[in-house]
């Protein structure tokens, strides 16, 4: 008899990233990227892991690992124009809620946590890899007349700016 049931886990909704999510439990989480230094500082007492990332290939640039660095607990993955960020689970202490309401301590922590997430987003957004221009782009043969006129206009204005700055320094 053939088993036609595919293995299922909570991460099935993710695109195929070339690695597997393996169930495992632990509470010792170690940051290994500057990207998550502030996140770790904010959440170090709240992190626990319930899974790790496994791959046949060596995965570069993990953001969280186990103490022995043998299991990857966190990683960023570029997907189209954005990122998926895998981090360990975050558990809040019972002291963060009272009568189903967040306490002042919890609200303060939540505000800091939100700031840290915004910092990570900004950092990833600023980390854009661009393809270098091919050499032929600089060859004047491929310039259209409008581009040539615009470049001349820019060069002329840059000269004028330098002259104005020199004039300002002299007065």
Residue 130 to residue 151: CA distance in whole angstroms: 23
Query: Facing residues of 76 across strands?
Result: 85
Q: Are 27 and 85 within one domain?
A: yes
Q: Are 85 and 125 in contact (CB under 8 A)?
A: no
| Residue, of 119 and 60, whose pLDDT is higher | 119
Read off the pLDDT of residues 99-113 as tens digits, 9 standing for 90 and up: 989 999 999 999 999
pTM greater than the 0.75 cutoff: no
Residues facing residue 78 across a β-bridge: 83
Q: What are the tens digits of pLDDT across the range 134-160? A: 777 667 777 788 888 888 899 899 889
Same-domain status, 114 and 141:
no
Q: Does the structure show a pLDDT above 70 at 70?
A: yes
Do 147 and 63 fall within a single domain?
no
Asked if residue 148 and residue 94 are part of one domain, the reply reads: no
In a domain, 80, yes or no: yes
Owning domain of residue 160? 135-170
Lowest mean pLDDT among 1-15, 56-70, 143-157: 1-15
């Amino acid at each position: 008899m053939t088993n036609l049931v595919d293995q299922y886990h909570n991460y099935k909704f993710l695109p195929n990233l070339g690695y597997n999510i393996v169930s495992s439990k632990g509470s010792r989480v170690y940051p290994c990227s500057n990207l998550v230094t502030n996140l770790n500082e904010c959440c170090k007492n709240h992190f626990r892991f319930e899974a790790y990332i496994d791959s046949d290939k060596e995965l570069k640039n993990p953001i969280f690992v186990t103490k022995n660095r043998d299991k990857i607990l966190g990683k960023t993955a570029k997907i189209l124009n954005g990122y998926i960020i895998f981090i360990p689970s975050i558990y809040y202490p019972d002291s963060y809620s009272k009568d189903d309401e967040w306490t002042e301590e919890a609200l303060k922590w939540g505000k800091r946590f939100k700031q840290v997430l915004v910092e990570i987003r900004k950092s990833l957004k600023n980390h854009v890899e661009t393809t270098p221009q091919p050499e032929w782009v600089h060859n004047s043969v491929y310039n259209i007349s409008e581009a040539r006129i615009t470049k001349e206009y820019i060069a002329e204005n840059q000269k004028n700016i330098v002259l104005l700055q020199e004039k300002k320094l002299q007065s």
